[in-house]
């Protein structure tokens, strides 16, 4: 596979050109994209600052117009950027700065007076990539370098690319997690402990391997769904990209952690590689939108959908999933539908009691929304009969979908009730009535067959 540090450097080039691609005028695209392609320029996306990371609205770098004869002929950019991929080696920078009309992107060439790349940062992981701060001290660029030719378009241009740049980072998390599990699986086939191979011990496989393989397959299904929609020319998928990014990177990070544990003491050694994978994949939960920023984006958008639909958003999805289960029994759609209906009711009580004024509640709902939608993607994938890039046979993938759907249903009810009961919104008879409303008994009955599905997945993963 490709080292995640190298992949990050390539992502940096892609990110750096994105503001030009989505926001540049035809003339700007022809000039700058042509130079990148023909001259092989390294590009950097200079957005993050010491006091402003994922939340771009708080950047402090300023772009001051240079006025001659009553018109703007140039801008002087001053400020500091932090953690810039390719920062000290780039030939070209797309810099986000606050102009009088609002945040705007500017193209800045290496060597422009006042532009000073800092030293390469020593990092926990992705050490093969260059990461450096930038200092801009009255860096003057011609007005033609204002991308789009209009001030105040920077945040919109940045948001336009989140749908797919976050899917790219999601793929990094998926790939790293899979690579870590592959090494743990190979180790489990050869390591004897207590008279038998590790791969023959459900206490090892069902804790350290199978749950993470399932989570990665769920993330894969959602990534493929979003990527397919992007390939078909859809836009406005920023939230779907955030769901993919949050789910896949957290799953990849957890899988790498489990892979170290699965190796025992050897997992801590360089020779077995899983410790490096863990150091590398950790950054995917941070860059291109932290997990928490993704949670906030998901929560705010899905909360808006809940209000606009008068509570029907996830109920409608549940109805559609029930039909999917009719057409493809055992695909996990029915289990997911129960979780979706429970989520709708949890959100409605949260609305009635105004619980989302508490950010923790809002973030919890965002996480649960993501869980349900990822489960939906996996169930629909199984129902379609198209395994996509999964290496699991269809019956095994169906078992994985059921396992994930059960996990989601338990998480939705568990975390959701913790919010409602913990806030005092439900108690006594009201709590009992709510449990009946969300059909908690049916959700618990859905756990039937869980151990058998875990066994099926383990056997497939460790088959010769």
**DSSP code of 24?**
-
Domain ranges for the chain: 4-152, 156-285, 291-461
Alpha carbons within 13 angstroms on the beta-carbon side of residue 353 total 18
Q: Is 218 exposed, middle or buried (0-12, 13-18, 19+ CB in 10 A)?
A: buried
Say which residue the tokens 């046979």 belong to. Answer: 393
- Cβ atoms 62, 79 nearer than 8 A: yes
Instruction: Tell me the angle at which helices 394-422 and 359-384 cross, rounded to the nearest 10 degrees.
Output: 160
Query: Per this entry, what is the length of the chain?
Result: 464
Nearest to 158 by CA among 238, 74, 85: 238
How many whole angstroms separate alpha carbon 191 and alpha carbon 170?
31
Query: Between 3.40.50.1100, 3.40.50.1000, 1.20.140.10, 3.90.930.60, what CATH number should domain 156-285 receive?
Result: 1.20.140.10
Task: Please identify every residue annotated as catalytic.
Answer: 288
pLDDT in tens, the chain (464 residues): 789 999 999 999 999 999 999 999 999 999 999 999 999 999 999 999 998 877 778 899 999 999 999 999 999 999 999 999 999 999 999 999 999 999 999 999 999 999 999 999 999 999 999 999 999 999 999 999 999 999 999 999 988 887 788 999 999 999 999 999 999 999 999 999 999 999 999 999 999 999 999 999 999 999 999 999 999 999 889 999 999 999 999 999 999 999 999 999 999 999 999 999 999 999 999 998 999 999 999 999 999 999 999 999 999 999 999 999 999 999 999 999 999 999 999 999 999 999 999 999 999 999 999 999 999 999 999 999 999 999 999 999 999 999 999 999 999 999 999 999 999 988 889 999 999 999 999 999 999 999 999 999 999 999 97
Do the first three CATH levels of 156-285 and 291-461 match, i.e. the same topology?
yes
SS3 413: helix
Dihedral of the CA atoms 96, 98, 100, 104 (nearest 10)?
A: 20
Give φ, ψ of 446 to 5 degrees.
-65, -10
Cα–Cα distances in Å, from 172 out to 160, 208, 215, 229? 20, 21, 15, 19
- CATH fold for the domain made of 4-152: Butyryl-CoA Dehydrogenase, subunit A; domain 2 (2.40.110)
Query: Between 1.10.3470, 1.20.140, 3.30.360, 1.20.1530, what CATH number should domain 291-461 receive?
Result: 1.20.140
- pTM for the model: 0.94
């Amino acid at each position: 596979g490709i080292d995640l540090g190298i992949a990050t450097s390539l992502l940096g080039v892609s990110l750096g050109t994105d503001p030009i691609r989505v926001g540049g005028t035809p003339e700007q695209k022809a000039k700058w994209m042509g130079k990148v392609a023909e001259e092989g320029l390294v590009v950097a996306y200079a957005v993050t600052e010491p006091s402003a990371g994922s939340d771009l609205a708080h950047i402090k770098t300023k772009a001051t117009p240079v006025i001659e004869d009553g018109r703007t002929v140039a801008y002087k950019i001053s400020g500091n950027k932090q953690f810039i991929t390719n920062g000290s080696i780039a030939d070209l920078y797309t810099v986000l700065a606050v102009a009088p009309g609002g945040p705007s992107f500017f193209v800045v060439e290496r060597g422009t007076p006042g532009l000073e790349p800092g030293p390469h940062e020593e990092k926990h992981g992705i050490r093969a990539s260059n990461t450096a701060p930038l200092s801009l001290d009255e860096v003057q660029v011609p007005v033609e370098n204002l991308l789009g030719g209009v001030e105040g378009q920077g945040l919109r241009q940045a948001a336009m690319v989140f749908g797919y740049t976050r899917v790219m980072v999601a793929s990094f998390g998926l790939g790293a997690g899979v690579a870590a599990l592959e090494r743990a699986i190979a180790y489990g086939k050869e390591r004897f402990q207590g008279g038998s191979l590790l791969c023959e011990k459900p206490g090892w496989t069902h804790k350290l391997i199978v749950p993470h393989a399932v989570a990665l397959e769920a993330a894969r299904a959602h990534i493929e769904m979003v990527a397919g929609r992007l390939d078909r020319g859809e836009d406005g998928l920023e939230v779907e990209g955030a769901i993919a990014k949050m789910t896949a990177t957290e799953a990849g990070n957890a899988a790498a952690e489990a892979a170290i544990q699965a190796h025992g003491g050897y997992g801590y050694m360089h020779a077995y590689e899983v410790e490096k994978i863990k150091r590398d994949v950790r950054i995917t939960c941070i860059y291109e939108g932290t997990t928490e920023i993704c949670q906030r984006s998901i929560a705010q958008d899905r909360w808006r959908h809940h209000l606009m639909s008068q509570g029907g958003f996830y109920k409608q999805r549940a109805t559609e999933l029930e039909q999917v289960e009719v057409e493809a029994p055992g695909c996990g759609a029915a289990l997911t539908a129960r979780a979706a209906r429970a989520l709708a009711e949890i959100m409605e009580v949260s609305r009635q009691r105004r619980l989302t004024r508490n950010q923790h509640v809002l973030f919890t709902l965002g996480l649960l929304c993501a869980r349900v939608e990822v489960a939906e993607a996996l169930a629909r994938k199984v129902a379609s009969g198209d395994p996509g890039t999964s290496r699991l046979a269809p019956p095994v993938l169906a078992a994985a979908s059921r396992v994930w759907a059960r996990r989601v249903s338990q998480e939705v009810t568990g975390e959701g009730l913790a919010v409602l009961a913990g806030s005092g919104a439900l108690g006594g008879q009201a709590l009992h009535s709510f449990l009946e409303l969300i059909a908690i008994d049916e959700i618990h009955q859905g756990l039937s067959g869980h151990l058998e599905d875990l066994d099926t997945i383990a056997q497939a993963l460790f088959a010769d």
